[in-house]
Chains A and B, each alone.
Chain A
Amino acid sequence: MAKARASKKTPIRVLIAKPGLDGHDRGAKVVARALRDAGMEVIYAGLRQTPEEIVRAALEEDVDIIGLSILSGAHMALFPRILVLLKEHQAGNIPVFAGGIIPDEDARRLKKAGIRAIFGPGTSLEEIVTTARTLARHPA
């Protein structure tokens, strides 16, 4: 069955996960809450998820979009791994966005690798919600 969103009325499903080992999940929770308030169904996978667990959750939950939060500095190792795993599962079309402490140069490289949007500190929730909605409705 092809992925078919019945209409704009069906809620967007989004996975929010924190790959890696840092325990700072306030940002992820704030974003989860904002997406909820924007009418989305947010699957909150929580802390210390491996790339394998994140991809598995995304597939089982059939999400429209994945949001990753990271503050540990391990983004250059973990994000590309997630993108590779998604492709391996023929799910490379699921848009992935990210937030956290990510230097500009890294952000450029990650975007090139396929992360669709990267939000640094100070990004407004409105911008995150709008971007997430646009990405979910218009994947790939």
Chain B
Amino acid sequence: MKAASRLPAAARAIVDGDRRVLARTITAVENGDPSADRVVRSLYPRSGRAPVVGLTGPLGVGKSSLVNALVGRLRELGQTVGVIGVDPSSPFTGGSVLGDRIRLERRADDTGVFFRSMASRGAAGGVAAATREVSRLLDAAGFDVILVETVGSGQVDVAIRDIASTSIVVVVPHLGDEVQTLKAGLFEIADIFCVNKVDLPGADLAKRDLAELVTLGGRANGWAPPVVGTSTVEPCGIDELWEDVLAHEKFLDASGERTRGERKRLSSEIVGLARDRVGRELTLRLEKDPALRRLLDEVVARTIDPRSAADRLVTGSRRTR
């Protein structure tokens, strides 16, 4: 790659395995710190290599324990793993207790694993605004597999779909009857269904309900999500779970779905980034431009309606550009 020699120093360090610089860059990305901008841009061509595996599902189903078990399995297979564990920020104080790390069991000198806890910082959907870019940083840093654990999700927290190449929806026995599995949202994004705590009674019923759901029709792309039972208490199913991930990744390549999905995701990412930027510019304009501030006065006075004012804001900002 031509640009390789011209990577910014921090990007070079990340590629060369400097975990400290990686950790600091992640902080900068989370904080929207401009110092991360060049690093993020320059490392993009080096991402898109590692499978990004999302684990989502309601709180308490055992996502963190499953992540730990998968990390163990992947290390056995000689794979290196980057993990992002997202937990919610308080809508009241902005504070957060990030506890996903607590389940992680690994040797302190094992450099084949990098674990980062991340607060959602007000983002809806189960991940943080920075999660996607941070998963790319881990990818560029050379980890073979990226695992992303979402916030304990509700029925419509499906943002992981925009980040992960394979999404695992984790449930436990007795979450509800089979009608729950028909409802829109979370269950629609599963590439794999995982019934965790399969050692508990009711597990067979939960598996059967999900298997039945799949027979009603798989994903629109032709993939039929497998249903796998796991337990981390009496360890079982972890190898199978990972095999299913690999099978799905293989399907993505063989069917062309990977490229199709990427195009869709990246298109919405670009539009999202552009929207943010234009939004910021317009906000600034409305605050700073005296003519546009008068416009606001008129809307407050009910002499102009908000839709017309928005028209003027857009055309006005175009004219002055």
Contacts and interface: CB of A to CB of B under 8 A. Distances in A.
Between B26, B35, B117, the greatest number of chain A beta carbons within 10 A of the residue's beta carbon is seen for B117
A11 B94 contact: yes
Given A11-B95, A52-B109, A60-B114, A44 B27 contact: no
A4 B97 CA distance: 23
Contact-residue bracket for chain A = 35 or more
Contact of B97 (A32, A52, A56, A89): A32
A39 B94 contact: yes
A11 B205 CA distance: 44
A41 B96 contact: yes
A106 interface: no
Given A42-B98, A52-B108, A89-B20, A36 B32 contact: no
Contacts of B96: 11, 36, 40-42
A71 interface: no
Interface string B76-119: 00000000000001100111111101100000110000111101
Given A43-B117, A52-B109, A6 B97 contact: no
Nearest to A53: B108
A120 B37 CA distance: 44
Contacts of B90: 36-37, 39
A117 interface: no
Contacts of A36: 90, 93, 95-97
A5 to B, nearest CB: 8
Contacts of B19: 59-60
Max chain A Cβ within 10 angstroms of own Cβ: one of B21, B99, B101: B101
Closest 6 CB pairs of A and B: A52-B108, A36-B95, A46-B102, A62-B23, A10-B31, A1-B10
Given A40-B96, A90-B20, 9 more contacts: A3-B24, A35-B95, A38-B95, A39-B94, A41-B95, A42-B98, A53-B108, A59-B23, A61-B101
21 contacts: A1-B25, A4-B33, A6-B28, A6-B31, A11-B96, A11-B119, A13-B27, A36-B93, A37-B93, A37-B95, A39-B90, A40-B96, A41-B89, A41-B96, A41-B98, A42-B95, A44-B101, A46-B99, A46-B101, A57-B101, A59-B20
